Structure 1
Amino acid sequence: MRTLPPAVATAVHVATLARKNGMPIPPKVLAVLDAAASPFPGRWLLHPLPGDPIRVIELFAGPGGWSEGIAAVLGVAVDAVGIDISKDACATARAAGHFRICADITALDPEHYALRHVVGLIVSPPCPSFSPAGKHSGQEQRNIDILCRVIAQTSEAGGFCEPEECDYWCGENCEDLDLCEELGYHDGYAPRSGLTWDDLRAQLAPLTDARIGLMAELLFWVFGLRASGAPVQFIAMEQSSRLPQQIIDDIRLELRGGQETGEYFIVDDAILEASEFGLASRRERTFMLASVYYGRLPTPQELTGVRTNSMAQALGWGPGERINTRGERPVDPTTGRPKGGNEFSADKQSNCLTGKARTWKRVGDGLRLTQADAGLLVGFRCTYPWQGSRTSAFQQAADVVSPIMAAAVLAGVLRVPWKARVLDYEEYLYRLDDYLDADDFDTAA
Structure 2
Amino acid sequence: MRTLPAKVQTAVHIATMARKDGLPIPSKVLAILDEAASPFPGRWLLDPLPGDPIRVIELFAGPGGWSEGIATVLGAKVDAVGIDISKDACATARAAGHHRICADITTLDPEHCALRHVRGLIVSPPCPSFSPAGKHTGREQANIDILCRVLAQTSEAGGFCPPDDISYECGDTCEDLDVCEEIGYHDGYAPRSGLTWDDLRAQLAPLTDARIGLMAELLIWAFGLQAGGAPLEFIAMEQSSRLPQQIIDDIRLELRGGENTGEWYFATAEILDAANFGVASRRERLFFLAARFGRMLPSGASIPVTTMAQALGWGPGERVNTRGVRPIDPATGRAKGGNEFSADKPSNCLTGKARTWKRVSDGQRLTTNEAGLLVGFRPTYPWQGSRSSAFQQAADVVSPIMAAAVLSAVLGIPWKARVLDYEEQFYRLDDYLDGDPDDFDMAA
Fold shared per TM-score above 0.5: yes
State the secondary structure of the residue aligned to 2:19. Answer: helix
Deviation at 1:434, TM superposition (A): 8.0
Q: Aligned partners of 1:228 and 1:104: how far apart in 2?
A: 20
Residue number in structure 1 paired with 2:424: 427
Q: Aligned partners of 1:114 and 1:21: how far apart in 2?
A: 23
State the secondary structure of the residue aligned to 1:272. Answer: strand
Post-superposition CA distance 1:145-181 (Å, at most 9, x none) = 00000000000000001113349799xxx86331221
Asked if the contact 1:160–1:262 (Cα under 8 Å) also holds between the matched residues in 2, the reply is no
Q: Aligned partners of 1:433 and 1:353: how far apart in 2?
A: 23
Sort the Cα spacing of 1:168 and 1:295 in 2 relative to 1 into closer, same or farther, 3 A.
farther
Deviation at 1:431, TM superposition (A): 2.1
**Paired residue type of 1:240:** S
Residue number in structure 2 paired with 1:276: 276
Deviation at 1:12, TM superposition (A): 0.3
State the secondary structure of the residue aligned to 1:126. Answer: coil
Q: Aligned partners of 1:198 and 1:347: how far apart in 2?
A: 50
Deviation at 1:392, TM superposition (A): 0.2
Residue number in structure 2 paired with 1:79: 79
Q: Aligned partners of 1:143 and 1:34: how far apart in 2?
A: 40
Asked if the contact 1:322–1:343 (Cα under 8 Å) also holds between the matched residues in 2, the reply is yes
Residue number in structure 2 paired with 1:382: 379
Asked if the contact 2:313–2:430 (Cα under 8 Å) also holds between the matched residues in 1, the reply is no
State the secondary structure of the residue aligned to 1:344. Answer: strand
Sort the Cα spacing of 1:331 and 1:433 in 2 relative to 1 into closer, same or farther, 3 A.
closer
Deviation at 1:295, TM superposition (A): 2.8
Sort the Cα spacing of 1:95 and 1:151 in 2 relative to 1 into closer, same or farther, 3 A.
same
Indicate which of 323, 327, 343 corresponds to 2:324: 327
Asked if the contact 1:275–1:349 (Cα under 8 Å) also holds between the matched residues in 2, the reply is yes
Q: Aligned partners of 2:70 and 2:300: how far apart in 1?
A: 19
Residue number in structure 2 paired with 1:54: 54
Q: Aligned partners of 2:387 and 2:329: how far apart in 1?
A: 33
Asked if the contact 2:313–2:429 (Cα under 8 Å) also holds between the matched residues in 1, the reply is no
Asked if the contact 1:169–1:189 (Cα under 8 Å) also holds between the matched residues in 2, the reply is no
Asked if the contact 1:197–1:220 (Cα under 8 Å) also holds between the matched residues in 2, the reply is yes
* 1:410-425 equivalent positions in 2, closer than 5 A: 410-425=407-422
Q: Aligned partners of 1:225 and 1:18: how far apart in 2?
A: 27
Q: Does 1:108 align with 2:102?
A: no
**Paired residue type of 2:55:** R
Deviation at 1:331, TM superposition (A): 1.5
Asked if the contact 2:377–2:400 (Cα under 8 Å) also holds between the matched residues in 1, the reply is yes
**Paired residue type of 2:63:** P
Post-superposition CA distance 1:367-423 (Å, at most 9, x none) = 000000100000001000000000000000000000000000000000011111111
Q: Does 1:373 align with 2:408?
A: no
Q: Aligned partners of 1:7 and 1:434: how far apart in 2?
A: 58
Residue number in structure 2 paired with 1:70: 70
Indicate which of 333, 336, 352 corresponds to 2:333: 336
**Paired residue type of 1:355:** G
Indicate which of 320, 327, 347 corresponds to 2:344: 347
**Paired residue type of 2:199:** D
State the secondary structure of the residue aligned to 1:216. Answer: helix
Residue number in structure 1 paired with 2:134: 134
**Paired residue type of 1:6:** A
* 1:284-323 equivalent positions in 2, closer than 5 A: 284-301=284-301, 304=302, 306-323=303-320
Q: Aligned partners of 1:413 and 1:213: how far apart in 2?
A: 27
Q: Aligned partners of 1:224 and 1:260: how far apart in 2?
A: 20
State the secondary structure of the residue aligned to 1:382. Answer: coil
Asked if the contact 2:270–2:288 (Cα under 8 Å) also holds between the matched residues in 1, the reply is yes
Q: Does 1:209 align with 2:209?
A: yes
Asked if the contact 1:151–1:216 (Cα under 8 Å) also holds between the matched residues in 2, the reply is yes
Q: Aligned partners of 2:295 and 2:146: how far apart in 1?
A: 28
Residue number in structure 2 paired with 1:3: 3
Q: Aligned partners of 2:225 and 2:277: how far apart in 1?
A: 33
Q: Aligned partners of 1:122 and 1:155: how far apart in 2?
A: 18
Gaps of 5+ in 2: 433-444
Residue number in structure 2 paired with 1:440: none
In the alignment of these two chains, the number of paired residues is: 429
Asked if the contact 1:169–1:188 (Cα under 8 Å) also holds between the matched residues in 2, the reply is no
Asked if the contact 2:57–2:118 (Cα under 8 Å) also holds between the matched residues in 1, the reply is yes
**Paired residue type of 2:48:** P
* 1:146-295 equivalent positions in 2, closer than 5 A: 146-164=146-164, 165-166=167-168, 176-295=176-295
Deviation at 1:189, TM superposition (A): 0.2
Asked if the contact 1:314–1:376 (Cα under 8 Å) also holds between the matched residues in 2, the reply is yes
Gaps of 5+ in 1: 436-445
> What TM-score do the two structures reach when normalised by structure 2?
0.95
Q: Aligned partners of 1:388 and 1:60: how far apart in 2?
A: 18
Task: Indicate the RMSD between aligned Cα atoms, in angstroms.
Answer: 1.5
**Which has the larger displacement, 198-207 or 253-262?**
253-262
Asked if the contact 1:126–1:239 (Cα under 8 Å) also holds between the matched residues in 2, the reply is yes
